Amino acid sequence: MKSSRRLGAIALAGMLGAVAPVKAQNIDLNRLFSIGRDAVTAVAGVSEQEEQTMGREIAGRMLGAAPLVNDAALQAYVNRVGRWVAVQGERPDLPWRFAVIDTPSINAFAAPGGYVMLTRGLYEILDNEAQLAGVLAHEIAHVVRRHHVTVMQKSAALSAGAQLAQRDNRSALVNNMIGTGAEVFARGLDKSAEYEADAIGVVLAARAGYNPFGLVDVLHKLAARGAADGSLALLFKTHPLPGERLEQLGAALTPALATLPAGRELDIRRVAAGAGPMRAAKPLPAGGARGLAEQQPAPPAQPPKGGSGIGIDPGQLLRGLFGR
Amino acid sequence: MRQRRAKTVCRRVAAVLLAAFATLAAAEPVTVERDSVVRAEPRTDSAVVANFARGVSGEALARQGAWVQVKTATATGWLYSFNVRFGAPAGSAGEGAGAGSVLGRVFAPRQKVNVTATLGIRGLDEEDLKQAQFDGGQLEALDGFAASREQAEAHAGGAGLSATRIDYLAQPAAAAGADPGGSQ
């Protein structure tokens, strides 16, 4: 136990790179990490299946915090728009899931593996489908670039030294990564990841045929609301201020403006009158979704029922989360 | 409560909503955020008709793509929307009759009072995320709404959207020092 703590401190010093109480000299971190193949896999390369398993766990928790808006046609609509935008990126065939969740907060979230959630508070201030596409495209960009995975990897790597002591316990290390997943939503990503997602989002929406400036419109809306708006509290805590994002996006967009097509704005589907949170214990996909669909939805990704893929025990995951 | 709030949202957002159209039915207050060149038309090769300094306020008359047409006391012309911020400037009274009410204050832009704690309206916060319990039923419902690639393409086709090849934007070398929107 003592030695694992020391290793942890050494790994921490290595990751932080500079000012740390313990010097990492004479320690080859690569060699250190290569001791446990499982640890290396988890830290250096997360497979798509692992990403989906983690994302599904995180998405399930998010839905526990804020359930779906009980409007099947709306959810189906958002999935079609989102999937169409996602198809324009480098990971078109992930099992993408898009949701409008029932909270007045103005925010949107992306979890690894293709889960994108938009709050009702944000949805209701959108004017057109191009703005919806822009917001979804920003989140899709986080998934495509694996921004959250990177953050979780860093976090897990910080304690990789400790994990080496129990390297046969692969799930513990993965737990460690997922355990930080909720913190990713609460603390947010690097500013640079947000700016990158904005810049990619504009292009994905434009590729999909939408007015490229839908996301810019939404950032203007957020900027106009300002820090006093309680519904934006978490968003402002986890993202650079919208004014800064507009400035960065403006700088990135300016050289390309002449080449971007005008695109379409299109009417957005409104939330059904009276729709509240979806509350059924185990709700079936409502007829509205299938009624709209000409084809059956893609089969769902395998849920992490205790042992899929990397052998995650959900109970253990939750302990990992709350044990922090 | 929800209905009242929704109505307030609608009213508050109405002005911003109009900004989506090429011509605004009612002018929207706007503040210039960066020193900007102002052009006669929404094109970079159009004649420069003025320069707006940071802090100048005016009205947005129209939007077109990345451009916004702004009228100030001294001139009217087009500049990049990145260079302006919409809404009344900080410290102003907000808008209309709603500004004095509790809800009006929430939705009025750029006010510096922190009303979060005094209002019942509160969404997800950090604590909610930390306390969140996995909900498998919701997740299964979500799976039922998933769209296949074919469904997505059908939606796009029906809406007249077609995919276009567009390269990702080059990252500006030093974004902070970059020069967005033809500013000077």
* pLDDT value for B2: 55
As for the ipTM of the complex, it is 0.70
Name A194's Cβ contacts closer than 8 Å, sequence gap at least 6: A188, A239, A240, A245
CA distance B95 to A184: 36
Q: Is B45 on the interface with A (CB under 8 A)?
A: no
Residues of B in contact with A303 (CB under 8 A): 136, 139-140
Q: Is B147 on the interface with A (CB under 8 A)?
A: yes
* pLDDT value for A205: 98
* pLDDT value for A288: 39
The tally of CA atoms less than 13 A away on the side-chain side of residue B179 is 6
Residue A175, in any domain of the structure = no
Name A200's Cβ contacts closer than 8 Å, sequence gap at least 6: A89, A137, A138, A141, A144, A145, B168
* pLDDT value for B46: 94
Q: Please give the helix or strand (H or E) that residue B78 lies within, else none.
A: strand B76-80
Name B17's Cβ contacts closer than 8 Å, sequence gap at least 6: A127
Residues of chain B with pLDDT under 70: 1-26, 89-122, 172-184
Nearest by CB to residue B87, choosing from A67, A92, A224, is A224
Question: Domains in chain A: how many in total?
Answer: 1
Contact B110, B93 (CB under 8 A): no
Name A91's Cβ contacts closer than 8 Å, sequence gap at least 6: A114, A143, A144
Contact B87, B110 (CB under 8 A): yes
Residue A286, in any domain of the structure = no
* pLDDT value for B1: 52
Q: Which CATH class is domain B1-124?
A: mainly beta
Q: What are the domain boundaries of chain B?
A: 1-124, 126-158
The answer, yes or no, to whether residue A302 has pLDDT greater than 70, is no
CA distance B77 to B63: 11
Average pLDDT over chain A reads 74
Structure tokens that stand for A63 in this block: 């839905």
Residue A128, in any domain of the structure = yes
β-pairing, A115-119 vs B76-80, is: unpaired
CA distance B50 to A144: 42
Q: What's the pLDDT tens digit per position in A97-113?
A: 999 999 999 999 999 99
Q: Is B120 on the interface with A (CB under 8 A)?
A: no
Tell me what percent of the residues of chain B surpass a pLDDT of 70: 60
> Can you give the residue range of the structural domain that contains A226?
45-145+183-267
Is the model more confident about B132 or about A306?
B132
Give the strand order in the sheet containing A97-101.
A97-101, A115-119, A108-111
In the block, tokens 């809406």 appear at B159
Residue A49, in any domain of the structure = yes
CA distance A243 to B33: 9
CA distance A276 to chain B (A): 10
Tell me what percent of the residues of chain A surpass a pLDDT of 70: 62
* pLDDT value for B5: 59
Contact A155, A177 (CB under 8 A): yes
The answer, yes or no, to whether residue A79 has pLDDT greater than 80, is yes
Q: What's the pLDDT tens digit per position in B147-182?
A: 999 999 999 999 999 999 999 998 765 444 344 444
**CA gyration radius for chain B?**
22
Structure tokens that stand for B69 in this block: 């047409």
Q: What's the pLDDT tens digit per position in A82-100?
A: 999 999 999 999 999 999 9
Structure tokens that stand for B38 in this block: 């102002």
Using pLDDT thresholds of 50, 70 and 90, give the confidence band for residue A115: very high
* pLDDT value for A141: 96
Lowest mean pLDDT, pick from A53-67, A126-140, B144-158? A53-67
CA distance B176 to B174: 6
Q: Is B40 on the interface with A (CB under 8 A)?
A: no
Q: What's the pLDDT tens digit per position in A187-228?
A: 677 888 999 999 999 999 999 999 999 999 999 999 988 777
In single-letter form, the type of residue at position B63 comes to R
Residue B86, strand partner residues: B30
Residue A157, in any domain of the structure = no
- CB pair distance less than 8 Å for A253 and B66: yes
* pLDDT value for A189: 77
Residue A314, in any domain of the structure = no
Contact B32, B83 (CB under 8 A): yes
* pLDDT value for B7: 57
Residue A23, in any domain of the structure = no
Residue A29, in any domain of the structure = no
